[in-house]
Amino acid sequence: MIHRLMMTSACALAMALPGAAQQAADQVDPEIAVDLPAAFDGLSEAAAAAWASRSEGRPVEGERWMVAAQNPIAAEAGAQVLRDGGTAADAMVAVQAMLGLVEPQSSGLGGGAFLVWYDAETGEVTTLDGRETAPLAATPRLFQDDDGEPLPFWDAVMGGLSVGTPGTPALMEAAQRRWGRANWAGLFDDAIAVAEDGFAISPRLAGQIADDADRLMRFPETAAYFHPDGAPLAEGDLRTNPDYAETLRALAAEGASAFYRGPIAEDIVAAVRGAEGAPGLLSLEDMARYRVIERPAVCTDYRGAEVCGMGPPSSGAISVAQILGKLEAFDMAGMDPQAPETWRLIGDATRLAFADRGRFIADSDFVPVPVGGLIDPGYLAERAELLRREDALTEVPVGTPEWDHALLQASDTDPERPATSHISIVDADGNALSMTTTIESGFGARLFVRGFLLNNELTDFSFRSHEDGWPIANRVEPGKRPRSSMAPTVVLRDGAPVLVTGSPGGAPIIVYTATHILAHLDWGMDVQAAADMPQLVNAFGTYILEEGTWAADLAQPLEDMGFEVSIGPRPSGVQAISITEGRLSGGADPRREGIALGE
């Protein structure tokens, strides 16, 4: 049972923030759940305190280490590793192994992830790409019917066709080998124990199982796990997952190769190729060939801070940099966070960024991407000139960034679904890790193998391969990685990290991350207040304002400016840590089930 305390978060925040910024951080629900939901009974007092802290709009404070993850059981697994002297990379393995069990609908072994690492010893920022790959047998027409028309979205998602070669197990191993110091096998102990002893289904997971009942029932193994005895798992039900424990034991004993070769790989391929009514193309060769790729971090200056994140195949860092880079031309710190004019600027800066994203950004191993041109300060200043007006843009032109290629491409517009999970960690050595991890839509392809779900990441490709005869950069190609919006970010000042952030949520991830950075740097909100702030997202033309918050009150003024507006849920999931003069503050988005834990 969730106990509710009648206290507005505006009230709780009143002492923490200056005037307008404090009001802007007002939470979604005026009633705050202060106690941990019963599904998380048995966790530490620190977890309960962290939940209360989040509910009251206060960040969790620490001096040595901090972990913020989207589920309290997973955050605790990471905290234990950090308490025992492990690095952020060690803790990430424990958090991810647990998330795959207790939040299986969002991320796990069957998915992919991007990781940003700040190394305290060298001062360097490194990014690792653990994104899924399209099978070698895939063609640009993977998601088209016989007439070349795109398949209906859910027809493409469900079953084997959408499953890319998973990257998360390889990423966990690559990061831990490089930056970890703990015994690899021991990092799986907690998740194995919980998988065998059972965990209580959380409120959010229960809701999603109920909402997705028809799709989950389509495949027998998936139905048997989520609907045992024909009824959906409900909040508080105890669920064991011995198959997952066995999979983790194999990973613990043999490393990621146990996943990519041998019986686990064979079962994954069999499930994909044998999916009833929707067989896919994944092969044992695809599994065996999978590699994590180290890519150059995309870092840009924003008001003297350096914002670093993941480049292609993610559009995350480039698009965040484009939004912030255009807003830098305006006095955002002097603007009221609740004023329609403020959101006119942010909304149209976002639309312009998404216009470029749809035209230029894809897997740069397959198509040239003008990364330098897209984040060039001169180019962004030029684009910012388009925003010097009083009403909404009537046209949202694709830009002409400097580029050494003569290439004509068409734009794509396929949005992604709002699932995914985010992990932020700072360890006692001062290393910082930001990782966004996903199986794409909630419950991925709905195929359940060896205790985990398989991704539907390939639907992040453009279903259309061409438009008016011009190729689309993000078309399907064999071995290619689908464009992502995931934006794991580390912000540095004078070469040291000051903010570790990121969010789940599909294409709006870019906006959730950019506005979290903006609220913290420009409006002085702490990480929790910035995560609490209502969400307003305009990526593709319609301004979606978070229901039940002051954002909805901006509907009329934004409409008067010429925006198309709708009001609805905005399920961000920011998990973030700030570092100020050696002190750590952790925040977790109240829209999901995360907490920050630190000491």
State the minimum distance, in angstroms, from the CB of residue 506 to ligand GLY: 6
For residues 131 and 344, which CB has a smaller minimum distance to ligand GLY in the complex? 131
For residues 255 and 502, which CB has a smaller minimum distance to ligand GLY in the complex? 502
Question: How many other β-carbons are positioned within 10 Å of the β-carbon of residue 393?
Answer: 20
DSSP states of 493-541: ETTEEEEEE---SSTTHHHHHHHHHHHHHTS---HHHHHHSPPEE-SSS
Q: Does 486 bind ligand GLY (CB under 6 A)?
A: yes
Helix (H, G, I), strand (E, B) or coil at 599: coil
State the minimum distance, in angstroms, from the CB of residue 502 to ligand GLY: 11
Residue nearest to ligand GLY (CB): 484
State the minimum distance, in angstroms, from the CB of residue 484 to ligand GLY: 3
State the minimum distance, in angstroms, from the CB of residue 363 to ligand GLY: 12
DSSP states of 249-295: HHHHHH-THHHHSSHHHHHHHHHHHT-TT------HHHHHH---EEE
Measured in residues, the chain has a length of 599
For residue 313, whether the previous peptide bond is cis, meaning omega lies within 30 degrees of 0, is yes
Helix (H, G, I), strand (E, B) or coil at 115: strand
DSSP 8-state code for residue 165 = B
Query: Strand pairing partners for 575?
Result: 588
- Kindly state the helix (H) or strand (E) to which residue 350 belongs, with its residue range: helix 340-360
State the minimum distance, in angstroms, from the CB of residue 416 to ligand GLY: 4
Residue 229: partners with Cβ closer than 8 Å, 6 or more residues away: none
Residue type, 531: A
For residues 245 and 511, which CB has a smaller minimum distance to ligand GLY in the complex? 511
Nearest to 517 by CA among 304, 315, 302: 302
Q: Does 416 bind ligand GLY (CB under 6 A)?
A: yes
CA distance 223 to 316: 34
**Residues with catalytic function:** 420
For residues 105 and 484, which CB has a smaller minimum distance to ligand GLY in the complex? 484
State the minimum distance, in angstroms, from the CB of residue 509 to ligand GLY: 6
CA distance 300 to 311: 12
Which bin fits 207, alpha (ψ -120 to 50), beta or left (φ > 0)? Answer: alpha
CA distance 59 to 29: 18
- Kindly state the helix (H) or strand (E) to which residue 130 belongs, with its residue range: strand 125-130
Applying CB under 6 A, the site for ligand GLY has a residue count of 10
**Within 498-527, which residues bind ligand GLY (CB under 6 A)?**
506, 509
Q: Does 420 bind ligand GLY (CB under 6 A)?
A: yes
Q: Does 212 bind ligand GLY (CB under 6 A)?
A: no
For residues 367 and 509, which CB has a smaller minimum distance to ligand GLY in the complex? 509
Residue type, 48: A
Q: Does 477 bind ligand GLY (CB under 6 A)?
A: no
CA distance 33 to 273: 44
Of 162-170, 190-198, 213-221, 480-488: span binding ligand GLY (CB under 6 A): 480-488
Of 144-152, 165-173, 264-272, 482-490: span binding ligand GLY (CB under 6 A): 482-490
Q: Does 107 bind ligand GLY (CB under 6 A)?
A: no
State the minimum distance, in angstroms, from the CB of residue 441 to ligand GLY: 8
Of 349-357, 421-429, 483-491, 531-539: span binding ligand GLY (CB under 6 A): 483-491
Q: Does 414 bind ligand GLY (CB under 6 A)?
A: no
Of 155-163, 174-182, 425-433, 479-487: span binding ligand GLY (CB under 6 A): 479-487
Please state at what angle helix 340-360 crosses helix 509-521, rounded to 10 degrees: 130
**Within 431-470, which residues bind ligand GLY (CB under 6 A)?**
438, 440, 460
For residues 198 and 569, which CB has a smaller minimum distance to ligand GLY in the complex? 569
State the minimum distance, in angstroms, from the CB of residue 456 to ligand GLY: 9
For residues 322 and 420, which CB has a smaller minimum distance to ligand GLY in the complex? 420
- The residues binding ligand GLY (CB under 6 A) are 416, 420, 438, 440, 460, 484-486, 506, 509
